Amino acid sequence: MTALAESVAAFDVETLRAQFPILSRQVNGHPLVYLDNAASAQKPEAVIDAVANVWRTSYANVHRGLHTLANEATEAFEAARGKVADFLNAPSADQIVFTKSATEAINLVASSFGATLKEGDEVILSQMEHHSNIVPWHFLRERKGVVIKWIPVDDDGALDMDAYQALFTERTKMVSLVHMSNVLGTVNPARALVRIAHAHGAAILFDGTQAAVHMPVDVADLGCDFYIFTGHKLYGPNGAGALYAAGDWLDRLQPYQGGGEMIAEVSEDGVVYADAPHKFEAGTPAIADVIGLGAAIDWVNGLDRVAALEHERALLDRAEAGLAEIRGLRLFGRAQDKGAIASFLIEGAHPHDLAQLMDKYGVAVRAGHHCAHPLMKRYGVPGTVRASFAPYNSFDEVDAFLKALHKAMSFLI
Ligand SMILES: *Cc1c(COP(=O)(O)O)cnc(C)c1O
């Protein structure tokens, strides 16, 4: 056996699947084939238990507590912050802000960093961004006259690096890019992107919502200014996401929202903010969900991540080989460095119809614009069908997906 075949063989999908109760259910009389992982991943027993245990045994509001439950909840909540920091290889847990989602994390940066921008300052985005990394910057365009510039995406789904370099001017203040595309699967060359941004004196943020799920992320090595991800795509609860900010960014930026938990002192005439990261966490956070995110990180750390990634690649290869045999099929995303996402269109079959028909066979795929209108416009399509894979998916499921797709096509074409 080759090294790859060995590690794929060693990757025990059935044992993994057994940890996810939902994967054994039936949908429309068929075993569920869940290939919508890029939209949200399913949860292992360890995460479900961690969240339920908070509610059952140690729930109270966090911080400022003088009683035992409050102290236990605070300890578990802050332990989760340490887990996020370690997961990203951030130098300190104080550089991690909990948010309710990736969307909120980007809004936080766009708002707090955006407060330092002036009319005519420039922000660089790419054509493959998720709407959550576009709209918050549009707010700055509309409200402050900030200029947005766009890195083009080539036919294979890779960023045009020459065009990227050419976009910089002395007014460029921020580059905000997806690390791994939720539509194309493209993994962008993060270190090179950082090097170029910093050479031009601009800060750089990565939307790691997909990347953090599929590959180890090391923010210290990347050298980026901001990195964000969301818990629900990382086998954790929804309602918990995180922002990492390098160096003293959190000290330098204004708070995003005001309220309890984020202050040191409030009077009729003024306010003294709490130290970072609490300065950015106004109000009661999603306590059990954040603790659940910590459990999800523990669970991911327990995976053989190299083997998991190779297994996902093997699933994608099998799916793409099957798709390649379909006449009139157009596959989006052929970049060299690519995660386990297959986006495609079939001539004569509307993506929504295909997805709905495949659901009749228990196969869950997503169809539509995937919150990436500019990318759809770039390729001149209204949407695609997207199958996105997780380590708990099996080769049998890839075959069931292809079979369901052929059945769906037979009704439409
Ligand atoms: C899902 C996703 C988001 C948004 O995440 P939320 O948790 O819904 O805020 C942002 N960027 C990418 C690339 C995504 O896939």
Confidence class for position 61, pLDDT limits 50, 70, 90: very high
pLDDT on residue 1: 47
Predicted local distance difference test score (pLDDT) of residue 6: 53
Distances (CA, A) of 325 to 215, 301, 322, 402: 29, 37, 6, 10
The Cα–Cα gap between 74 and 66 comes to: 11
pLDDT tens column, 274-310: 999 999 999 999 999 999 999 999 999 999 999 999 9
**3-state helix vs strand vs coil in the chain, percent to 5:** 45, 20, 35
| Closest atom, ligand 1, to C-alpha of 230 | 7
* Residue with CA closest to ligand 1 atom 1: 39
Query: For residue 227, what are the β-bridge partners?
Result: 206, 244
Where does ligand 1 bind, in terms of residues with CB under 6 Å? 38, 101-103, 130, 132-133, 178, 182, 207, 209-210, 230, 232, 241
Among residues 402, 410, 326, which one has the least CA distance to residue 365?
402
Q: Calculate how far, in angstroms, residue 104's C-alpha sits from the geometric centre of ligand 1.
A: 10
CATH number belonging to domain 3-39+304-412: 3.90.1150.10
Residue 47 CB-half CA count within 13 A: 28
Q: How far is the CA of 106 from the centre of ligand 1 (A)?
A: 10
More confident residue, 175 or 10: 175
pLDDT of 265 above 70 = yes
Average pLDDT of the chain? Answer: 96
For ligand 1, what atom is nearest to the CA of residue 241?
7
Question: What confidence tier does 11 reach under pLDDT thresholds 50, 70, 90?
Answer: confident
The CATH classification of domain 48-301, taken from the options 3.30.43.10, 3.40.640.10, 3.30.470.20, 3.40.630.30: 3.40.640.10
Q: Relative to the CA of 370, which ligand 1 atom is closest?
A: 15
Give residue 5's pLDDT.
Answer: 53
DSSP annotation string for 195-255: HHHHHTT-EEEEE-TTHHHHS---HHHH--SEEEEEGGGGTS-TT-EEEEE-TTHHHHSPP
Q: What is the pLDDT of residue 64?
A: 79
Rounded percentage of the chain residues whose pLDDT exceeds 70: 98
Q: How far is CA 315 from the centre of its chain?
A: 20
Q: Is the pTM of this model over 0.95?
A: yes
Task: List Cβ neighbours of 142 (8 Å cut-off, separation of 6 or more).
Answer: none
Q: Active-site residue among 18, 46, 364, 371?
A: 371
How far does residue 105's CA lie from ligand 1's centre (Å)? 10
pLDDT in tens, 78-130: 999 999 999 999 999 999 999 999 999 999 999 999 999 999 999 999 999 99
If one residue of 107, 153, 209 were mutated to test the ligand 1 pocket, choosing by the most ligand atoms within 8 A of its CB, it would be 209
State residue 374 phi and psi, 5-degree precision: -60, -35
Q: Could you give the C-alpha distances from 76 to 46, 79, 97, 280, in angstroms and in order? A: 15, 5, 15, 19
Other C-beta atoms within 10 Å of 110: how many? 25
H-helix segments, 148-207: 161-167, 190-199
Give the Cα separation of 164 and 122 in Å (integer).
13
Question: Do the domains at 3-39+304-412 and 48-301 have one common CATH topology?
Answer: no
Tokens of 140: 């700055």
The question of whether 371 is a catalytic residue gets the answer yes
Q: What pLDDT shows up at residue 168? A: 98
- How many whole angstroms from 205 Cα to the centroid of ligand 1? 14
| pLDDT beyond 60 at 62 | yes
| Mean pLDDT to the nearest integer, 148-165 | 98
405 has a pLDDT exceeding 70: yes
210: CA distance to ligand 1 center in Å?
8
Quickly list DSSP for 273-321.
Answer: EPPTTGGG--S---HHHHHHHHHHHHHHHHS-HHHHHHHHHHHHHHHHH
- pLDDT greater at residue 2 or residue 333: 333
pLDDT at 266 over 60: yes
Domain boundaries, the chain: 3-39+304-412, 48-301
pLDDT digits (tens, 9 = 90+) for 16-59: 999 999 999 999 999 999 999 999 999 999 999 999 999 999 99
